[in-house]
């Protein structure tokens, strides 16, 4: 068995090292990405990563700059590719060069993307606008994992980072969920309440203090400190005035995502 | 004194002016204790209920959604009283009765609000997640020890009254209406009513709620559409009808006849009576349905109580009253049923009226079946539920055949008597309601009693 880290032995060099072997399975575990590559003789017969298969998976894995790998002689059980290893290495050499140019992409692909507060005029292409709109709340890996478009998405993301249109937060392992708004009244309070069970689940996963980012169907956003409350499953309770600021009311479906600021907590 | 005479005496008392005054006084008291909730929070009430109708299938911590609970309650309250009862009130009290009906209805909003709040606050939660509540629970759990027997008394009265107000009367009215309009034999109507009611009641509160959620809004919208059409036909007389309500409210009409004092009394009595009894605020029955609602705070269900009265008295009753007034039938008809039929005297009108009446009384029959069952369950435990259902269904069948005047009269009195323990409880628990309202509007979470 051969094990190591991609930060010491990048994916392409790892493939070159394995070219001498007679066959086996390479498993990769990187932040936000898990992948498997199968070899039979000097052929690559299987590649899978984050729902992508074949060359798409290899392209994605080539872009990883960190992550543990383990190679065993266990022959691959499935096949979704039939490429001589030399040909794959040649193709992926170009891909690796392309990845190297994307210097603004974060190394940790598990990080959660956030649209930045843009305070200047910014011209975005249609592609950039599409990714920008789609990225909120997803991990970097999720945005990249589009069949046939991995590198294209990576380039767009890189440009968006370069233009500071996107930022990232540490991954909390919890994606955005939809909760139904329920107002509360009384003295103005910035607190959001969610059901006790949901709060507990988030608190256990996150392991530290967190806030809630709320997005209304009209695209308005706000962050709130969060506290648990009994008897409100599938609901988020916000002060009536805060709900109005979001142009929402009782019954409005809100996208809700826990978030922590960088350095505040252990993700 | 024989049973009939005793019943007649009691009936006069429980539906008489003294009790009306008690209803109004309690409504006024609760209006004050709740900080005039039906006025001061009217915007919030509409936003929380009709304004949030999109979430009618969502709830938490009860058996059915707040919307469903309200539809069950509304199904019970909307019945003959909204149609023939309103017509009768105008025949007796003139157009001015409508004004006093509104006033009584507005006070009734606070009463119904308090009933729904207390029903949720004092409801009993069982290990399987189901809940039971209503006046019998808030009286027995909320009142001082010496008065807790009032809960049992209320349950007894409700379980028995359901056979009259909710069953025999409704089944008979439906059979009569369908026979007159379409020639449907009363036995056939009885059989149909009994079978459908059996199917719905057998499914428990969830099936009753699903039925009410589907039928009551349709029934309401259907009535309003038919009412709008009827009013359009009598459009020219509509402004005059509205003016007559305000002119008649203080006896202007009667003054012309030279008996101002007596006429004003009649107007007040007829109007206030309708404003009180058509929405059942004070009888406590609707609280049994509201108790089932999945809500995070009792006050939120109280809002639905206000809306229930609003829809029943200020919307449905008003539309019916305007049809009767604008059509002019109230000046010529000699009886309420005759005037009701005459008011819908346009092509297809009598069929629409018969269908509307049939639907109104059928939903009342189903909801009251649930009320009676809950009350019987409170007294005798869950084992009584099926025997009660079967008896109720048999009554629904035989009620259509008619001839149960004595039973109906007795049940009518029992129905009126339900108000006594309930009104007393509402007064004694007014402080609890006020506390819950204060807490809710301070953003405090609800803490149910142990």
ipTM confidence: 0.80
Nearest-Cα distance to chain A for B55, in Å, is 5
Mean pLDDT for B108-121 is: 97
Best of A182, A191, A252 to substitute, by most chain B Cβ atoms within 10 angstroms, is: A182
- Residue B253's pLDDT is 53
Q: Would you say how long chain A is, in residues?
A: 267
Residue of A nearest to B297 (CA): A231
Asked if B372 contacts B388 with a C-beta cutoff of 8 angstroms, the reply is yes
- Domain residue extents for chain B: 3-436
- Residue B288's pLDDT is 96
As given in the structure block, the two tokens for residue B278 are 């058509």
Q: Which residues have a Cβ under 8 Å from the Cβ of A92 and sit 6 or more positions away?
A: A11, A12, A15, A58, A59, A62
Mean pLDDT for B71-98 is: 89
- Tell me the per-residue pLDDT of B375-417, one tens digit each, with 9 for 90 and over: 999 999 999 999 999 999 999 999 998 877 888 888 888 988 9
Domain B3-436 has what CATH class?
mainly alpha
As given in the structure block, the two tokens for residue B67 are 């919307």
Chain A with chain B: Cβ pairs closer than 8 A: 53
* Contact yes or no for A185 and B296 at CB 8 A: no
Does position B61 have pLDDT exceeding 60, yes or no? Answer: no
Does position A71 have pLDDT exceeding 70, yes or no? Answer: yes
Nearest-Cα distance to chain B for A236, in Å, is 12
As given in the structure block, the two tokens for residue B328 are 């002019």
Bridge partners (DSSP) of residue A34 are A29
* Contact yes or no for A231 and B296 at CB 8 A: yes
Residue of B nearest to A227 (CA): B445
Best of B53, B65, B296 to substitute, by most chain A Cβ atoms within 10 angstroms, is: B296
Q: Which residue has the higher pLDDT, A135 or B110?
A: B110
Bridge partners (DSSP) of residue A214 are A222, A256
Q: Which residues have a Cβ under 8 Å from the Cβ of B341 and sit 6 or more positions away?
A: B180, B350, B353
As given in the structure block, the two tokens for residue A38 are 């199968």
- H or E stretch at A239: strand A235-239
Nearest-Cα distance to chain B for A194, in Å, is 12
What whole-number distance in Å separates Cα of residue A163 and Cα of residue A156? Answer: 11
The confidence band for A267, taking pLDDT boundaries of 50, 70 and 90, is: very low
- H or E stretch at A224: strand A221-229
- Residue B257's pLDDT is 45
Does position A218 have pLDDT exceeding 50, yes or no? Answer: yes
- Tell me the per-residue pLDDT of B100-112, one tens digit each, with 9 for 90 and over: 999 999 999 999 9
Pairing outcome for strands A43-49 and A52-53: antiparallel
* Contact yes or no for A185 and B440 at CB 8 A: yes
- Residue A265's pLDDT is 38
Chain B 35-74, residues with CB within 8 Å of chain A CB atoms: 44, 47-48, 51-55, 58, 60-61
Instruction: Give the global pTM.
Output: 0.77
- Residue A266's pLDDT is 39
Q: Which residue has the higher pLDDT, B360 or B61?
A: B360
Rounded to the nearest integer, the mean pLDDT of chain B is 90
Residue entry with tokens 């009768």: B88
- Tell me the per-residue pLDDT of A84-97, one tens digit each, with 9 for 90 and over: 988 899 999 999 99
Q: Which among B385, B425, B382 has a CA at the least distance from the CA of B134? A: B425
Three-class SS of residue B246? helix
Q: Which of A185, A195, A250 sits opposite B443 (nearest CB)?
A: A185
- Tell me the per-residue pLDDT of B416-434, one tens digit each, with 9 for 90 and over: 899 999 999 999 999 999 9
Q: Which of A184, A234, A237 sits opposite B58 (nearest CB)?
A: A234
- H or E stretch at A135: helix A126-135
**Half-sphere exposure for B83 (CA within 13 Å, toward CB):** 28
Residue of B nearest to A239 (CA): B443
The confidence band for B192, taking pLDDT boundaries of 50, 70 and 90, is: very high
What whole-number distance in Å separates Cα of residue B260 and Cα of residue B252? Answer: 7
Residue entry with tokens 């049940």: B411
Q: Which residues have a Cβ under 8 Å from the Cβ of A7 and sit 6 or more positions away?
A: A65, A66, A67
- Residue B266's pLDDT is 77
Q: Which among B28, B132, B115, B429 has a CA at the least distance from the CA of B299? A: B115
* Contact yes or no for A231 and B295 at CB 8 A: yes
Residue of A nearest to B57 (CA): A251
Angle at B61 between CA B58 and CA B65, to 5 degrees: 35
The confidence band for B81, taking pLDDT boundaries of 50, 70 and 90, is: confident
Asked if B292 contacts B373 with a C-beta cutoff of 8 angstroms, the reply is no
Three-class SS of residue B281? coil
List of chain A residues whose C-beta atoms are within 8 Å of the C-beta of residue B54: 251
Q: Which among B293, B328, B317 has a CA at the least distance from the CA of B101? A: B317
* Contact yes or no for B55 and A229 at CB 8 A: no
Asked if B104 contacts B26 with a C-beta cutoff of 8 angstroms, the reply is no
Q: Would you say how long chain B is, in residues?
A: 450
The confidence band for B278, taking pLDDT boundaries of 50, 70 and 90, is: confident
Q: Which among B165, B91, B77, B11 has a CA at the least distance from the CA of B337? A: B91
What whole-number distance in Å separates Cα of residue A230 and Cα of residue A219? Answer: 28
Q: Which residues have a Cβ under 8 Å from the Cβ of A73 and sit 6 or more positions away?
A: A1, A21, A22, A23, A24
Best of B44, B49, B52 to substitute, by most chain A Cβ atoms within 10 angstroms, is: B52
Q: Which phi and psi angles does B62 have, rounded to 5°?
A: -150, -160
Which overall architecture, per CATH, does domain A177-259 show?
Answer: Beta Barrel (2.40)
B348 close to A (CB below 8 A): no
B447 close to A (CB below 8 A): no
Asked if A260 contacts A169 with a C-beta cutoff of 8 angstroms, the reply is yes
List of chain B residues whose C-beta atoms are within 8 Å of the C-beta of residue A233: 60
What whole-number distance in Å separates Cα of residue A197 and Cα of residue A199? Answer: 5
- Which ranges in chain A are annotated with CATH 2.40.40.20? 177-259
The confidence band for B60, taking pLDDT boundaries of 50, 70 and 90, is: low
* Contact yes or no for A186 and B51 at CB 8 A: no
């Amino acid at each position: 068995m051969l094990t190591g880290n991609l930060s010491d032995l990048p994916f392409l060099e790892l493939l070159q090292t394995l070219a001498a072997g007679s066959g086996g399975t390479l498993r990769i575990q990187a932040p936000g990405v898990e992948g498997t590559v199968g070899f039979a003789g000097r052929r690559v017969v299987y590649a899978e990563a984050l729902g992508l298969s074949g060359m798409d998976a290899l392209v994605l894995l080539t872009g990883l700059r960190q992550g543990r790998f383990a190679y065993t002689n266990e022959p691959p059980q499935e096949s979704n590719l039939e490429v001589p290893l030399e040909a794959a290495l040649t193709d992926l050499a170009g891909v690796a060069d392309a990845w190297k140019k994307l210097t603004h992409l974060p190394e940790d692909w598990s990080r959660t993307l956030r649209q930045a507060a843009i305070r200047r005029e910014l011209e975005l292409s249609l592609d950039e606008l599409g990714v920008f709109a789609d990225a909120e709340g997803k991990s970097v890996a999720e945005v990249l994992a589009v069949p046939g478009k991995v590198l294209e998405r990576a380039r767009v993301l890189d440009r968006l980072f370069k233009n500071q249109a996107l930022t990232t937060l540490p991954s909390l392992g919890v994606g955005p969920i939809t909760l139904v708004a329920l107002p509360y009244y009384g003295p103005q309070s910035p607190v959001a309440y969610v059901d006790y069970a949901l709060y507990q689940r988030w608190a256990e996963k996150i392991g530290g203090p967190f806030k809630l980012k709320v997005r209304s169907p009209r695209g308005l956003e706000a962050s709130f400190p969060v506290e648990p409350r009994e008897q409100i499953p599938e609901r988020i309770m916000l002060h009536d005035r805060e709900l109005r600021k979001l142009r929402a009311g009782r019954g409005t479906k809100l996208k809700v995502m826990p978030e922590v600021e960088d350095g505040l907590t252990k993700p | 004194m024989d049973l009939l005479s005793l019943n007649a005496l009691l009936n006069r008392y429980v539906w008489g002016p003294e009790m009306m005054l008690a209803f109004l006084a309690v409504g006024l008291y609760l209006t004050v204790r709740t900080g005039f909730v039906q006025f001061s929070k009217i915007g919030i009430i509409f936003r929380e209920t009709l304004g949030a109708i999109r979430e009618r299938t969502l709830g938490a911590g009860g058996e059915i959604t707040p919307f469903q609970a309200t539809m069950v309650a509304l199904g019970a309250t909307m019945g003959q009283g909204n149609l023939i009862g309103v017509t009768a009130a105008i025949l007796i009290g003139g157009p001015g009765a409508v004004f006093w009906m509104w006033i009584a209805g507005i006070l009734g909003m606070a009463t119904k609000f308090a009933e729904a709040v207390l029903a949720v606050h004092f409801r009993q939660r069982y290990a399987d997640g189901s809940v039971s509540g209503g006046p019998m629970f808030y009286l027995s759990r909320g009142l001082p020890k010496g008065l807790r027997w009032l809960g049992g008394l209320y349950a007894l009265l409700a379980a028995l009254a359901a056979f009259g107000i909710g069953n025999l009367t409704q089944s008979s009215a439906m059979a009569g209406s369908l026979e007159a309009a379409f020639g449907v034999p009363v036995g056939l109507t009885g059989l149909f009513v009994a079978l459908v009611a059996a199917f719905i009641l057998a499914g428990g509160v969830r099936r009753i709620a699903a039925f009410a959620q589907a039928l009551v809004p349709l029934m309401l919208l259907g009535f309003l559409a038919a009412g709008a059409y009827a009013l359009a036909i009598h459009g020219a007389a509509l402004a005059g009808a509205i003016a007559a309500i305000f002119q008649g409210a203080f006896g202007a009409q009667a003054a012309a006849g030279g008996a101002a004092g007596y006429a004003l009394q009649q107007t007040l009595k007829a109007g206030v009576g309708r404003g009180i009894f058509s929405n059942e605020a004070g009888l406590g029955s609707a609280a049994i349905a509201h108790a089932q609602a999945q809500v995070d705070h009792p006050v939120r269900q109280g809002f639905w109580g206000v809306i229930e009265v609003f829809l029943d008295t200020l919307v449905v009753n008003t539309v019916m009253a305007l049809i009767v007034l604008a059509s002019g039938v109230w000046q010529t008809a000699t009886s309420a049923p005759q005037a009701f039929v005459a008011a819908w005297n346009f092509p297809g009108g009598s069929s629409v009226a018969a269908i509307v009446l049939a639907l109104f009384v059928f939903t009342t029959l189903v909801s009251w079946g649930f009320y009676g069952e809950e009350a019987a369950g409170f007294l005798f435990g869950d084992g009584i539920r099926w025997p009660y259902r079967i008896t109720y269904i048999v009554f629904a069948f035989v009620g259509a055949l008619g001839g149960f005047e004595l039973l109906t009269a007795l049940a009518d009195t029992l129905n009126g008597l339900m108000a006594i323990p309930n009104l007393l409880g509402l007064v004694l628990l007014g402080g609890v309601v006020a506390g819950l309202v204060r807490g809710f509007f301070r953003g405090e979470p609800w803490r149910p009693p142990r």
